[in-house]
Amino acid sequence: MTAEGAIVEDRIIPADGHWGRVVRRGQTLRIIDLEGKQAVDFLCYNAEDPSERYNAADTMKYAGTIFLTTGHGIYSDMGRRLFTIVEDTCGRHDTIGGCCSAESNEVRYGAKDTPSCRQNFLRALTPFGLGKKDIVANVNWFMNVPVGPDGKMGIVDGQSKAGDYVDLRADMDVLAVISNCPQTRNRCNGFNPTSIRVIVRERALAAESWPSEKEDPR
Ligand SMILES: [Zn+2]
């Protein structure tokens, strides 16, 4: 049903790698967890005006859950859909854990100068003229952060198997950036960061799932 269009980009991103591009409206971004249990830190912005960007709290409120999956929108702080999740073979992703940084690794683990998603986000954002002020609470594809009835949260083993993927259909021209998480001090990558694959495709000619606000399952 999805991701049938011509390939625009097909790239392997190694552990601790970063990536960014403008995904045009109607194109689909597929993120594949090649080996399983790999956290993929993700941010996105209106490509025309990046001051409009992903808003974690509103995305969760509209979805009515902290666990995003097929049918949910990735919303901006202006109440507009940046992406729609049109396919998800994993079913468990994180919206609350945020990205790792050298600073938080020092606070949590006493480890100095570690590689981090924050650094990778900065590397990915710099070519687009964005920087520290543009890093907000992010989505972590394939990362598993359950919350218990008592409110306790924790980073536990991801549920993704080798080859699991999410397909994100751009609902406007979106700047998307990725850090392929290098964390080795908690379970977010199963203590073994591995490569992912990113495929951007043109809209399929017979796409049946073009956005309809009337069918918005938020
Ligand atoms: Zn990370």
pLDDT tens column, 37-77: 999 999 999 999 999 999 999 999 999 999 999 999 999 99
The strand pairing partners of 169, in sequence order, are 28, 84
Return left, alpha or beta for 91; rule: phi > 0 is left, psi -120 to 50 is alpha, else beta.
Answer: left
| Cα(57) to centroid(ligand 1), Å | 20
| Cα(193) to centroid(ligand 1), Å | 10
Closest CA to 187 of 153, 164, 163, 162: 153
pLDDT at residue 191 tops 50? yes
| Cα(216) to centroid(ligand 1), Å | 31
pLDDT at residue 211 tops 90? no
Q: What angle do CA 57, 60, 62 make, to 5 degrees?
A: 105
| Cα(179) to centroid(ligand 1), Å | 7
Which of the two residues, 205 and 198, has the higher pLDDT score?
A: 198
| Cα(180) to centroid(ligand 1), Å | 7
Q: What angle do CA 44, 65, 174 make, to 5 degrees?
A: 15
| Cα(191) to centroid(ligand 1), Å | 12
Say if CB 50 and CB 147 are below 8 A apart.
no
Q: What contacts 190, CB < 8 A, 6 or more positions away? A: 36, 37, 38, 157, 158
pLDDT tens column, 103-141: 999 999 999 999 999 999 999 999 999 999 999 999 999
| Cα(99) to centroid(ligand 1), Å | 5
